[in-house]
Structure 1
């Protein structure tokens, strides 16, 4: 089977079996509860010891944006996320540039997980260089994604469960530690007179990447019971739960290690905190839970972005020879998968802070367009009127837009330069693709790709890319 011979999707329907609890579990699995430790040391340094406060700021911005996703998914229950919403509201050119900017997230999410695997395994096995662990994880995960793997039905529930058990144990340990060390300030992580608002904004902008995934729930609309009701609720509940978990874990970490200036290695600060809190057993427990989460996230994110790139290659948005290449033997998008692996090799040379900022750049830019899409689609195109409409389709998304832009512009200068350069490349490519903007860019049909792969799954015992 080649890229041009995907099975026809007519008659393929998905079982509507997912209720709100299952959707929330999926969203949390995608967000990864322990992702707070991805940038713990870096953002603690940026915010000068006020990481929990930064998480609360980001939570407010993400909750407003989640409201925008919730109202859009009710009216446009299609795959494609921000790309689809921006295209529907503003047309193909803006939709393309939104998707292009969001591609920074898709391409770098596998990369940051590979980098973190190297950092944390090196912290435990110092004799082995970081690059060895990072390169090995890239090769192993890429090979599995090319060959195709069967994911156990309850894998998400298990992985989320392990992480939530660790979070519960960690919070209990933090309470015990605080009781035995009463000198720690309980208010300082959230507020003190020396707090810097610009520093908080910079930190809050970076940790926007922690919330990536709440919108992924919208992709399950065809498998959800009463999707127009359950999917929006699950998006909002997942955002709140994720934000509260992140804030609680960050707060506990600061209680255990309030002297943030003394962190030996900000990139692997979590290992130091576990050692201080309870010794080697908690350190090992954390390492197992965190690495498992990183491997699962790397696997899922590489599969996801490979499918997106394959769909773009198949539809002529990207070069078809590379991105539309499909393995007949393994039934996986081999060209796109290898391309993502090559991009992920940047993990061998870049630093964690830069990658985290670039991922947040793409996310915040796309989230800004989603908020504006609500205003354009409902108030201008649909001409919704009345007090409730103005609040839901005007005030809330505009507040969400303002907060995401504030966070977006608070990123580091390097992140803004690289991100805007990526946007400029996309603009030039769009001009080439549309012959000087004189025609509409090709539309990426995510539904066709999903249906084709579901049909493949029904016709063969081989695992589909999913």
Structure 2
């Protein structure tokens, strides 16, 4: 009798999933980009973050709805496949791969640049290999270890951010601000400026969607994953907005010697040089946790597409029999660090957002399609299933228009390559797009919390 193939195991709690989402977003990111947002918004960074939170919350609600209807790993790929059709699902999944496949590389590159700044004797490429190697090893060992390491690092990163805020509050006690409302709106503020800054700030929220790739490893996924998506946006948005408000009180206005290192300069001002060096560790620790979470979610998307057969099944669709992790998928994402060795940070970040925003738009569209297929059903309302996702789609499409010409060109070329692969895979649409069979789905079910397989 053949041994039963390894399956994803439901281990994660709500707290674990939320911690992965926050790690993906990186709590210290608000400190890193504060100066840039303050300049763009004419000194109203917290307002820009608040607007970005509301805008991205529309799409987060769409993810929450689809996660409740389809509690399977694969995120936008699965939702589009089951709501719109297998071919649309393939193209959405292929496009999202641009984000998920290269984002671990970006996380490691950012982390390595910070570490090189802290320890200049060690080159960036060495830190790159160390970061990629460590996160890959932790993820391969198993989800239990990954969960523990991620919780510890995320808690430590949040603590260091809050410690920075505490020093800022002490500083404000000694030098009270002239106005508590200027960071929200001032004489230089404009709707155009705040909107432009909010569009930049919205990139900080990428990652709330990644928790949906953990659906098949989460207990009571139908209930837990939707709650986690909303909590990640709510907690992340509250943290970003509050920290930006305190920072804007410490440094009113939009004039900086160098906006890109505003938080470091501010750390020196409120706590001294030694403290500033330590607060840099928030970005370093948060960067490692982010790389861990990003690689975890990326490997799950690759595994789901491999299990469905749209990627080579024997390679991508296999789990290690002992650890229950998609080892080969993790090795592929780990190997992306070698691509990052010869790519600048600006180039690396310019094109991955194309896949993210197209995926967001597709999930909003899936909610609308679900409404028209299930009109009259309990809980399916026009406001939540048409108006909100339509607004969410408008926001994400607008964000796509803000991408550089190069980013759009690379994204469209990637999409065209996916269409060509789909043509080959289906032999010119004469064959159905591969998908998870009912027998395979049945073998992966676990009690009452089975993964829904719908066509």
Matched, 1:401 2:393: yes
> Structure 1 residues 41 and 137 mapped into 2: Cα distance closer, same or farther (>3 Å)?
farther
> Structure 1 residues 238 and 88 mapped into 2: Cα distance closer, same or farther (>3 Å)?
same
After superposition, give the CA deviation of every residue in 1:323-345 in whole Å (9 maximum; x if it has no partner).
56888998865654443334333
Whether the aligned pair in 1 keeps the contact of 2:57 and 2:233 (CA below 8 Å) is yes
Residue in structure 2 matched with residue 95 of structure 1 by the alignment: 89
RMSD of equivalent CA atoms: 3.9
Residue in structure 1 matched with residue 227 of structure 2 by the alignment: 233
**1:323-342 to 2 correspondences below 5 Å:** 323=316, 335-342=328-335
After superposition, give the CA deviation of every residue in 1:433-454 in whole Å (9 maximum; x if it has no partner).
2222343322268x969987x9
SS at match of 1:151: helix
After superposition, give the CA deviation of every residue in 1:21-60 in whole Å (9 maximum; x if it has no partner).
5543443344332233454455555555544333222211
Q: Which has the higher mean CA deviation after the structures are superposed, 392-401 or 380-389?
A: 380-389
Which segments of 5 or more consecutive residues in structure 2 lack a partner in the other structure?
A: 447-455
Residue in structure 2 matched with residue 347 of structure 1 by the alignment: 340
The CA deviation at 1:351 is: 3.5
Whether the aligned pair in 1 keeps the contact of 2:302 and 2:316 (CA below 8 Å) is yes
Whether the aligned pair in 2 keeps the contact of 1:101 and 1:423 (CA below 8 Å) is yes
Tell me which of 354, 367, 392 is aligned to 1:374. 367
Residue in structure 1 matched with residue 280 of structure 2 by the alignment: 287
How many residues align? The count is 445
**1:13-28 to 2 correspondences below 5 Å:** 14=10, 18=13, 20-21=14-15, 23-28=17-22
> Structure 1 residues 165 and 189 mapped into 2: Cα distance closer, same or farther (>3 Å)?
same
Tell me which of 174, 178, 183 is aligned to 2:168. 174
Q: Which has the higher mean CA deviation after the structures are superposed, 403-412 or 92-101?
A: 403-412
Q: TM-score, normalised by structure 1?
A: 0.80
After superposition, give the CA deviation of every residue in 1:103-152 in whole Å (9 maximum; x if it has no partner).
12212221122122222123323454434433443344446656779616
After superposition, give the CA deviation of every residue in 1:260-300 in whole Å (9 maximum; x if it has no partner).
5544472x554333223212343243233332222232233
**1:110-149 to 2 correspondences below 5 Å:** 110-142=104-136
The CA deviation at 1:374 is: 0.6
| Cα distance between partner residues in 1 of 2:157 and 2:231 | 18
| Cα distance between partner residues in 1 of 2:103 and 2:4 | 30
Tell me which of 60, 69, 85 is aligned to 1:66. 60
Q: TM-score, normalised by structure 2?
A: 0.82
Whether the aligned pair in 2 keeps the contact of 1:28 and 1:214 (CA below 8 Å) is yes
Residue in structure 2 matched with residue 272 of structure 1 by the alignment: 265
Which segments of 5 or more consecutive residues in structure 1 lack a partner in the other structure?
A: 455-466
Tell me which of 157, 160, 167 is aligned to 2:154. 160
